[in-house]
Structure 1
Amino acid sequence: MHRINDTLSQLQNQIQAAACSSERNANEITLLGVSKKQSDEKLLEAATSGLIDFGENYLQEALAHQKLLADFKLRWHFIGPIQSNKTRAIAEHFDWVHSVDRLKVAQRLSEQRDQNKAPLQVCVQLNLDNEDSKAGVQAKHASELCRQINGLDNIQLRGLMLIPKQRNNYKAQRTIFAQARELMHKINAQNQLNMDTLSMGMSADMDAAIAEGATIVRIGSALFGPRS
Protein backbone atom coordinates (compact mmCIF):
# COMPACT_ATOMS: atom_id res chain seq x y z
CA MET A 1 0.00 0.00 0.00
CA HIS A 2 1.33 3.43 -0.99
CA ARG A 3 1.85 5.52 2.15
CA ILE A 4 2.51 9.18 1.43
CA ASN A 5 4.00 9.75 4.86
CA ASP A 6 6.68 7.15 4.05
CA THR A 7 7.42 8.40 0.55
CA LEU A 8 7.59 12.00 1.78
CA SER A 9 10.20 10.97 4.32
CA GLN A 10 12.14 9.02 1.69
CA LEU A 11 12.14 11.97 -0.70
CA GLN A 12 13.29 14.33 2.02
CA ASN A 13 16.14 11.93 2.78
CA GLN A 14 17.04 11.83 -0.93
CA ILE A 15 17.12 15.63 -1.06
CA GLN A 16 19.30 15.67 2.05
CA ALA A 17 21.73 13.17 0.51
CA ALA A 18 21.89 14.99 -2.84
CA ALA A 19 22.47 18.30 -1.09
CA CYS A 20 25.18 16.82 1.10
CA SER A 21 27.03 15.33 -1.88
CA SER A 22 26.97 18.76 -3.55
CA GLU A 23 28.01 20.56 -0.37
CA ARG A 24 24.68 22.37 -0.23
CA ASN A 25 22.26 23.05 2.61
CA ALA A 26 19.15 20.91 2.19
CA ASN A 27 17.12 23.61 3.93
CA GLU A 28 17.58 25.72 0.80
CA ILE A 29 15.66 23.17 -1.29
CA THR A 30 11.87 23.02 -1.31
CA LEU A 31 10.00 19.83 -2.12
CA LEU A 32 7.00 20.85 -4.22
CA GLY A 33 4.33 18.16 -4.38
CA VAL A 34 2.68 18.14 -7.81
CA SER A 35 -0.88 17.24 -6.90
CA LYS A 36 -2.66 17.32 -10.25
CA LYS A 37 -5.10 14.45 -10.87
CA GLN A 38 -4.63 13.12 -7.34
CA SER A 39 -7.46 12.02 -5.07
CA ASP A 40 -8.76 14.02 -2.14
CA GLU A 41 -7.61 11.27 0.20
CA LYS A 42 -4.02 11.51 -1.01
CA LEU A 43 -3.95 15.30 -0.73
CA LEU A 44 -5.30 15.15 2.79
CA GLU A 45 -2.70 12.54 3.73
CA ALA A 46 0.10 14.67 2.26
CA ALA A 47 -0.99 17.80 4.11
CA THR A 48 -1.42 15.85 7.34
CA SER A 49 2.08 14.38 6.85
CA GLY A 50 3.60 17.86 6.74
CA LEU A 51 3.80 18.74 3.04
CA ILE A 52 3.51 22.53 2.77
CA ASP A 53 4.06 23.28 -0.92
CA PHE A 54 1.54 22.03 -3.49
CA GLY A 55 1.94 22.52 -7.25
CA GLU A 56 -1.05 22.58 -9.58
CA ASN A 57 -1.37 22.60 -13.39
CA TYR A 58 -5.10 23.05 -13.89
CA LEU A 59 -6.94 26.00 -12.41
CA GLN A 60 -10.37 24.56 -11.64
CA GLU A 61 -8.92 21.42 -10.11
CA ALA A 62 -6.52 23.54 -8.10
CA LEU A 63 -9.30 25.69 -6.67
CA ALA A 64 -11.12 22.55 -5.56
CA HIS A 65 -7.95 21.26 -3.91
CA GLN A 66 -7.44 24.56 -2.14
CA LYS A 67 -10.97 24.42 -0.77
CA LEU A 68 -10.41 20.84 0.39
CA LEU A 69 -7.23 21.80 2.27
CA ALA A 70 -8.38 25.21 3.50
CA ASP A 71 -7.74 24.28 7.14
CA PHE A 72 -4.00 23.73 6.49
CA LYS A 73 -1.41 26.49 6.25
CA LEU A 74 -0.03 25.74 2.77
CA ARG A 75 1.73 27.44 -0.13
CA TRP A 76 0.11 27.02 -3.54
CA HIS A 77 2.18 27.10 -6.72
CA PHE A 78 0.73 27.34 -10.22
CA ILE A 79 3.05 25.44 -12.57
CA GLY A 80 0.97 24.88 -15.72
CA PRO A 81 0.49 26.88 -18.93
CA ILE A 82 -1.29 30.17 -18.31
CA GLN A 83 -4.21 31.35 -20.41
CA SER A 84 -4.85 35.08 -20.32
CA ASN A 85 -8.44 34.60 -19.17
CA LYS A 86 -7.22 32.63 -16.12
CA THR A 87 -4.77 35.19 -14.76
CA ARG A 88 -7.20 36.86 -12.34
CA ALA A 89 -8.01 33.63 -10.52
CA ILE A 90 -4.33 32.67 -10.46
CA ALA A 91 -3.35 36.07 -9.07
CA GLU A 92 -6.05 35.81 -6.42
CA HIS A 93 -5.51 32.24 -5.23
CA PHE A 94 -1.82 31.36 -5.54
CA ASP A 95 1.38 32.27 -3.73
CA TRP A 96 3.76 31.34 -6.57
CA VAL A 97 3.55 31.13 -10.36
CA HIS A 98 6.35 29.20 -12.08
CA SER A 99 5.20 29.30 -15.69
CA VAL A 100 5.33 32.94 -16.83
CA ASP A 101 6.75 33.16 -20.35
CA ARG A 102 5.09 36.31 -21.75
CA LEU A 103 5.10 39.92 -20.60
CA LYS A 104 1.34 40.19 -21.14
CA VAL A 105 0.70 37.41 -18.64
CA ALA A 106 3.01 39.00 -16.08
CA GLN A 107 1.30 42.36 -16.53
CA ARG A 108 -2.12 40.84 -15.96
CA LEU A 109 -0.95 38.98 -12.87
CA SER A 110 0.48 42.22 -11.53
CA GLU A 111 -2.66 44.24 -12.22
CA GLN A 112 -4.97 41.57 -10.79
CA ARG A 113 -3.04 40.78 -7.61
CA ASP A 114 -4.68 42.17 -4.48
CA GLN A 115 -2.42 44.94 -3.17
CA ASN A 116 -3.26 43.87 0.38
CA LYS A 117 -1.68 40.47 -0.22
CA ALA A 118 2.01 39.69 -0.31
CA PRO A 119 3.50 40.07 -3.79
CA LEU A 120 2.95 37.09 -6.08
CA GLN A 121 6.23 35.16 -6.36
CA VAL A 122 7.03 34.60 -10.03
CA CYS A 123 9.43 32.46 -12.05
CA VAL A 124 10.04 32.79 -15.78
CA GLN A 125 9.70 29.47 -17.59
CA LEU A 126 12.57 28.59 -19.92
CA ASN A 127 12.50 26.42 -23.03
CA LEU A 128 16.19 25.66 -23.41
CA ASP A 129 15.57 22.70 -25.71
CA ASN A 130 13.45 24.90 -28.03
CA GLU A 131 10.64 22.34 -28.07
CA ASP A 132 7.58 23.44 -30.03
CA SER A 133 5.34 21.34 -27.80
CA LYS A 134 6.36 23.13 -24.61
CA ALA A 135 5.80 26.61 -23.27
CA GLY A 136 8.69 28.75 -22.13
CA VAL A 137 10.92 31.53 -23.37
CA GLN A 138 14.08 30.79 -25.33
CA ALA A 139 17.39 31.61 -23.67
CA LYS A 140 18.10 34.52 -26.04
CA HIS A 141 14.91 36.31 -24.98
CA ALA A 142 14.98 35.49 -21.27
CA SER A 143 17.06 38.43 -20.06
CA GLU A 144 14.82 41.07 -21.63
CA LEU A 145 11.66 39.40 -20.34
CA CYS A 146 13.07 39.25 -16.82
CA ARG A 147 14.08 42.91 -17.00
CA GLN A 148 10.54 43.90 -18.02
CA ILE A 149 8.84 41.75 -15.40
CA ASN A 150 11.07 43.03 -12.63
CA GLY A 151 9.57 46.51 -12.92
CA LEU A 152 5.97 45.41 -12.36
CA ASP A 153 4.02 46.05 -9.17
CA ASN A 154 2.46 43.38 -6.93
CA ILE A 155 4.70 40.57 -8.17
CA GLN A 156 8.24 39.62 -7.25
CA LEU A 157 10.51 38.03 -9.83
CA ARG A 158 12.20 35.15 -8.02
CA GLY A 159 13.94 33.09 -10.68
CA LEU A 160 13.67 30.61 -13.53
CA MET A 161 11.75 27.39 -14.11
CA LEU A 162 12.79 24.60 -16.47
CA ILE A 163 11.12 21.46 -17.81
CA PRO A 164 13.80 19.97 -20.08
CA LYS A 165 13.61 17.01 -22.41
CA GLN A 166 13.96 13.70 -20.62
CA ARG A 167 17.59 12.70 -20.33
CA ASN A 168 18.54 9.33 -18.89
CA ASN A 169 22.23 10.13 -18.51
CA TYR A 170 23.21 11.90 -15.28
CA LYS A 171 25.90 13.98 -16.98
CA ALA A 172 23.48 15.14 -19.67
CA GLN A 173 20.92 16.01 -16.99
CA ARG A 174 23.47 18.13 -15.18
CA THR A 175 24.49 19.88 -18.38
CA ILE A 176 21.02 21.27 -19.13
CA PHE A 177 20.44 22.27 -15.50
CA ALA A 178 23.82 23.99 -15.45
CA GLN A 179 22.70 26.06 -18.46
CA ALA A 180 19.69 27.30 -16.47
CA ARG A 181 21.85 28.14 -13.46
CA GLU A 182 24.41 29.99 -15.56
CA LEU A 183 21.65 31.85 -17.40
CA MET A 184 20.14 33.07 -14.13
CA HIS A 185 23.50 34.39 -12.97
CA LYS A 186 24.01 36.10 -16.33
CA ILE A 187 20.56 37.72 -16.26
CA ASN A 188 21.12 38.90 -12.70
CA ALA A 189 24.40 40.54 -13.68
CA GLN A 190 23.04 42.11 -16.86
CA ASN A 191 19.98 43.63 -15.20
CA GLN A 192 21.16 44.11 -11.60
CA LEU A 193 18.57 41.59 -10.39
CA ASN A 194 18.60 39.34 -7.34
CA MET A 195 16.85 36.21 -8.60
CA ASP A 196 17.52 33.34 -6.22
CA THR A 197 15.21 30.53 -7.34
CA LEU A 198 15.71 27.65 -9.76
CA SER A 199 12.57 25.52 -10.09
CA MET A 200 13.90 22.44 -11.83
CA GLY A 201 14.18 18.71 -11.35
CA MET A 202 11.59 15.97 -11.00
CA SER A 203 11.82 12.44 -9.65
CA ALA A 204 13.94 11.10 -12.53
CA ASP A 205 16.50 13.91 -12.51
CA MET A 206 16.21 15.49 -9.06
CA ASP A 207 19.74 14.62 -7.97
CA ALA A 208 21.26 16.25 -11.05
CA ALA A 209 19.10 19.34 -10.59
CA ILE A 210 20.15 19.69 -6.95
CA ALA A 211 23.79 19.32 -7.95
CA GLU A 212 23.34 22.30 -10.28
CA GLY A 213 21.56 24.55 -7.81
CA ALA A 214 17.86 23.70 -7.85
CA THR A 215 15.99 25.40 -5.01
CA ILE A 216 12.58 23.88 -5.81
CA VAL A 217 12.14 20.30 -7.03
CA ARG A 218 8.73 19.28 -8.39
CA ILE A 219 7.67 15.74 -7.46
CA GLY A 220 4.36 14.16 -8.50
CA SER A 221 3.65 10.44 -8.73
CA ALA A 222 6.86 9.54 -6.88
CA LEU A 223 5.25 11.22 -3.87
CA PHE A 224 1.55 10.65 -4.35
CA GLY A 225 1.54 7.41 -6.30
CA PRO A 226 -0.28 6.86 -9.65
CA ARG A 227 -2.66 9.59 -10.75
CA SER A 228 -6.39 9.01 -10.77
Structure 2
Amino acid sequence: MDGGVRSEIKHATLTDDEVVRRVLGGDIALLEIIMRRYNQRLFRVVRSILKDDSQAEDIVQEAYVRAYEHLSQFEGRAKFSTWLTKIAIYEAYARLRRFDYQNVDSISELEDQGLYMKSNERDPERQTFDGEIKLLLERAFDALPSDYRSVFMLREIEGLSTAETAECLEISEENVKTRLHRARELLQRELYSAAGAPRTAFQFLGARCDRVVARVMARIQESDSGSSAGRKFSRD
Protein backbone atom coordinates (compact mmCIF):
# COMPACT_ATOMS: atom_id res chain seq x y z
CA MET A 1 0.00 0.00 0.00
CA ASP A 2 1.50 3.37 -0.97
CA GLY A 3 1.98 6.34 1.32
CA GLY A 4 -1.03 8.19 -0.05
CA VAL A 5 -3.41 5.37 0.81
CA ARG A 6 -1.86 5.01 4.27
CA SER A 7 -2.46 8.70 4.86
CA GLU A 8 -6.10 8.45 3.79
CA ILE A 9 -6.66 5.47 6.08
CA LYS A 10 -4.98 7.22 8.98
CA HIS A 11 -7.02 10.39 8.71
CA ALA A 12 -10.23 8.77 7.41
CA THR A 13 -11.23 11.93 5.59
CA LEU A 14 -13.06 10.23 2.73
CA THR A 15 -16.81 9.77 3.03
CA ASP A 16 -18.32 6.32 2.60
CA ASP A 17 -19.71 7.24 -0.81
CA GLU A 18 -16.32 8.51 -1.95
CA VAL A 19 -14.67 5.28 -0.84
CA VAL A 20 -17.31 3.22 -2.66
CA ARG A 21 -16.80 5.16 -5.89
CA ARG A 22 -13.04 4.75 -5.73
CA VAL A 23 -13.22 1.04 -4.91
CA LEU A 24 -15.56 0.52 -7.86
CA GLY A 25 -12.98 2.38 -9.92
CA GLY A 26 -10.32 -0.15 -8.97
CA ASP A 27 -8.76 1.27 -5.78
CA ILE A 28 -9.52 -1.86 -3.75
CA ALA A 29 -7.04 -0.98 -0.99
CA LEU A 30 -9.41 1.74 0.19
CA LEU A 31 -11.74 -0.97 1.50
CA GLU A 32 -9.56 -0.86 4.60
CA ILE A 33 -11.07 2.52 5.44
CA ILE A 34 -14.57 1.02 5.43
CA MET A 35 -13.53 -1.98 7.49
CA ARG A 36 -11.75 0.02 10.17
CA ARG A 37 -14.65 2.44 10.26
CA TYR A 38 -17.34 -0.21 10.81
CA ASN A 39 -15.60 -3.27 12.28
CA GLN A 40 -16.79 -2.56 15.80
CA ARG A 41 -20.37 -1.78 14.82
CA LEU A 42 -20.71 -4.95 12.74
CA PHE A 43 -19.07 -7.10 15.39
CA ARG A 44 -21.36 -5.75 18.08
CA VAL A 45 -24.61 -6.19 16.18
CA VAL A 46 -23.65 -9.66 14.92
CA ARG A 47 -22.58 -10.75 18.38
CA SER A 48 -25.91 -9.53 19.74
CA ILE A 49 -27.51 -12.14 17.49
CA LEU A 50 -25.07 -15.05 17.85
CA LYS A 51 -23.74 -14.45 21.39
CA ASP A 52 -20.36 -15.86 20.39
CA ASP A 53 -17.19 -13.85 19.75
CA SER A 54 -15.47 -16.17 17.26
CA GLN A 55 -18.63 -16.77 15.24
CA ALA A 56 -19.31 -13.03 15.17
CA GLU A 57 -15.81 -12.29 13.89
CA ASP A 58 -16.27 -14.85 11.13
CA ILE A 59 -19.60 -13.34 10.10
CA VAL A 60 -18.12 -9.84 9.99
CA GLN A 61 -15.57 -11.09 7.47
CA GLU A 62 -18.31 -12.74 5.40
CA ALA A 63 -20.34 -9.54 5.44
CA TYR A 64 -17.47 -7.50 4.02
CA VAL A 65 -16.84 -10.04 1.27
CA ARG A 66 -20.55 -10.08 0.37
CA ALA A 67 -20.64 -6.29 0.37
CA TYR A 68 -17.64 -6.14 -1.95
CA GLU A 69 -19.14 -8.73 -4.28
CA HIS A 70 -22.34 -6.68 -4.56
CA LEU A 71 -20.87 -3.21 -4.25
CA SER A 72 -22.12 -2.14 -7.67
CA GLN A 73 -25.67 -2.82 -6.44
CA PHE A 74 -25.44 -0.15 -3.75
CA GLU A 75 -27.69 2.59 -5.10
CA GLY A 76 -27.26 5.19 -2.40
CA ARG A 77 -30.92 5.31 -1.43
CA ALA A 78 -29.94 4.43 2.14
CA LYS A 79 -26.75 5.30 3.99
CA PHE A 80 -23.89 2.98 3.08
CA SER A 81 -23.42 2.13 6.76
CA THR A 82 -27.06 1.00 6.95
CA TRP A 83 -26.69 -1.12 3.80
CA LEU A 84 -23.54 -2.73 5.21
CA THR A 85 -25.11 -3.35 8.62
CA LYS A 86 -28.10 -5.07 7.02
CA ILE A 87 -25.79 -7.41 5.12
CA ALA A 88 -24.10 -8.36 8.40
CA ILE A 89 -27.47 -8.95 10.06
CA TYR A 90 -28.64 -11.16 7.18
CA GLU A 91 -25.42 -13.20 7.39
CA ALA A 92 -25.79 -13.56 11.16
CA TYR A 93 -29.35 -14.84 10.94
CA ALA A 94 -28.35 -17.22 8.15
CA ARG A 95 -25.68 -18.65 10.44
CA LEU A 96 -28.19 -18.79 13.27
CA ARG A 97 -30.56 -20.86 11.16
CA ARG A 98 -27.80 -23.23 10.07
CA PHE A 99 -26.61 -23.95 13.60
CA ASP A 100 -30.05 -23.64 15.19
CA TYR A 101 -28.68 -21.80 18.21
CA GLN A 102 -32.16 -21.22 19.53
CA ASN A 103 -32.53 -24.93 20.31
CA VAL A 104 -29.28 -25.09 22.29
CA ASP A 105 -30.20 -24.97 25.96
CA SER A 106 -26.98 -25.59 27.83
CA ILE A 107 -23.33 -24.61 27.86
CA SER A 108 -22.33 -28.25 27.42
CA GLU A 109 -24.26 -28.41 24.14
CA LEU A 110 -22.54 -25.25 22.96
CA GLU A 111 -19.17 -26.75 23.84
CA ASP A 112 -20.06 -29.88 21.87
CA GLN A 113 -20.73 -27.71 18.82
CA GLY A 114 -17.53 -25.73 19.37
CA LEU A 115 -19.49 -22.50 19.80
CA TYR A 116 -18.71 -21.74 23.42
CA MET A 117 -15.31 -20.58 24.64
CA LYS A 118 -14.40 -21.85 28.09
CA SER A 119 -12.91 -19.35 30.48
CA ASN A 120 -9.46 -20.95 30.28
CA GLU A 121 -9.57 -20.69 26.47
CA ARG A 122 -10.11 -16.93 26.31
CA ASP A 123 -7.59 -15.06 24.22
CA PRO A 124 -5.26 -12.54 25.93
CA GLU A 125 -7.35 -9.58 24.76
CA ARG A 126 -10.41 -11.07 26.42
CA GLN A 127 -8.54 -11.78 29.66
CA THR A 128 -7.62 -8.12 29.98
CA PHE A 129 -11.07 -6.86 29.04
CA ASP A 130 -11.66 -4.35 31.75
CA GLY A 131 -12.66 -6.48 34.71
CA GLU A 132 -15.55 -8.38 36.14
CA ILE A 133 -18.12 -5.58 35.93
CA LYS A 134 -18.15 -5.48 32.15
CA LEU A 135 -18.27 -9.26 32.00
CA LEU A 136 -21.37 -9.15 34.17
CA LEU A 137 -22.88 -6.57 31.84
CA GLU A 138 -22.20 -8.78 28.84
CA ARG A 139 -23.82 -11.76 30.54
CA ALA A 140 -26.87 -9.71 31.44
CA PHE A 141 -27.05 -8.48 27.86
CA ASP A 142 -26.77 -12.02 26.47
CA ALA A 143 -29.73 -13.05 28.63
CA LEU A 144 -32.01 -10.64 26.78
CA PRO A 145 -34.26 -12.02 24.02
CA SER A 146 -32.58 -11.80 20.61
CA ASP A 147 -34.93 -9.12 19.26
CA TYR A 148 -34.20 -6.91 22.25
CA ARG A 149 -30.44 -7.47 22.06
CA SER A 150 -30.21 -6.25 18.47
CA VAL A 151 -32.21 -3.10 19.16
CA PHE A 152 -30.32 -2.33 22.36
CA MET A 153 -26.95 -2.86 20.69
CA LEU A 154 -27.70 -0.54 17.77
CA ARG A 155 -29.46 2.17 19.77
CA GLU A 156 -27.66 2.25 23.11
CA ILE A 157 -24.17 0.96 22.37
CA GLU A 158 -23.64 1.97 18.74
CA GLY A 159 -25.71 5.13 19.06
CA LEU A 160 -27.83 4.76 15.92
CA SER A 161 -31.02 6.75 15.67
CA THR A 162 -34.44 5.13 15.97
CA ALA A 163 -34.93 5.51 12.21
CA GLU A 164 -31.55 3.99 11.36
CA THR A 165 -32.14 1.07 13.72
CA ALA A 166 -35.58 0.44 12.23
CA GLU A 167 -34.12 0.42 8.72
CA CYS A 168 -31.28 -1.94 9.66
CA LEU A 169 -33.61 -4.43 11.34
CA GLU A 170 -36.52 -3.88 8.94
CA ILE A 171 -39.02 -3.15 11.69
CA SER A 172 -41.11 -0.08 12.49
CA GLU A 173 -39.78 2.79 14.56
CA GLU A 174 -42.51 2.09 17.10
CA ASN A 175 -41.22 -1.48 17.46
CA VAL A 176 -37.72 -0.12 18.01
CA LYS A 177 -38.96 2.10 20.82
CA THR A 178 -40.98 -0.70 22.42
CA ARG A 179 -38.17 -3.24 22.30
CA LEU A 180 -35.65 -0.76 23.62
CA HIS A 181 -37.92 0.13 26.52
CA ARG A 182 -38.42 -3.54 27.40
CA ALA A 183 -34.71 -4.28 27.08
CA ARG A 184 -33.93 -1.51 29.53
CA GLU A 185 -36.48 -2.88 31.96
CA LEU A 186 -35.00 -6.38 31.77
CA LEU A 187 -31.47 -5.18 32.47
CA GLN A 188 -31.35 -4.77 36.21
CA ARG A 189 -30.73 -1.17 37.21
CA GLU A 190 -28.08 -2.10 39.73
CA LEU A 191 -26.06 -4.11 37.22
CA TYR A 192 -26.39 -1.51 34.48
CA SER A 193 -25.22 1.37 36.67
CA ALA A 194 -22.40 -0.66 38.25
CA ALA A 195 -21.00 -1.63 34.84
CA GLY A 196 -20.42 1.97 33.76
CA ALA A 197 -20.80 3.30 30.23
CA PRO A 198 -22.03 0.50 27.92
CA ARG A 199 -20.08 1.89 24.97
CA THR A 200 -16.95 0.22 26.39
CA ALA A 201 -18.47 -3.26 26.11
CA PHE A 202 -17.90 -5.69 23.21
CA GLN A 203 -14.88 -3.82 21.92
CA PHE A 204 -13.40 -4.82 18.58
CA LEU A 205 -10.11 -2.99 18.37
CA GLY A 206 -6.40 -3.61 17.97
CA ALA A 207 -5.34 -7.07 16.85
CA ARG A 208 -8.89 -8.27 16.25
CA CYS A 209 -9.63 -5.36 13.94
CA ASP A 210 -6.33 -5.88 12.11
CA ARG A 211 -7.05 -9.60 11.73
CA VAL A 212 -10.41 -9.03 10.04
CA VAL A 213 -8.97 -6.40 7.70
CA ALA A 214 -6.09 -8.68 6.66
CA ARG A 215 -8.31 -11.72 6.08
CA VAL A 216 -10.94 -9.85 4.08
CA MET A 217 -8.36 -8.15 1.87
CA ALA A 218 -6.64 -11.50 1.25
CA ARG A 219 -9.92 -13.15 0.25
CA ILE A 220 -10.90 -10.31 -2.06
CA GLN A 221 -7.51 -10.21 -3.75
CA GLU A 222 -7.58 -13.97 -4.22
CA SER A 223 -11.10 -13.92 -5.70
CA ASP A 224 -10.20 -11.14 -8.10
CA SER A 225 -7.34 -13.21 -9.54
CA GLY A 226 -5.80 -10.18 -11.14
CA SER A 227 -8.98 -8.65 -12.54
CA SER A 228 -9.69 -5.03 -11.71
CA ALA A 229 -12.56 -4.03 -9.46
CA GLY A 230 -13.58 -1.47 -12.05
CA ARG A 231 -14.12 -4.12 -14.69
CA LYS A 232 -15.68 -6.68 -12.36
CA PHE A 233 -17.99 -4.30 -10.57
CA SER A 234 -18.74 -1.65 -13.17
CA ARG A 235 -22.13 -0.04 -12.88
CA ASP A 236 -24.73 -0.83 -15.49
Quick check: TM above 0.5?
no
Normalised-by-shorter TM-score class: under 0.3
- TM-score between both structures, scaled by the size of structure 1: 0.28
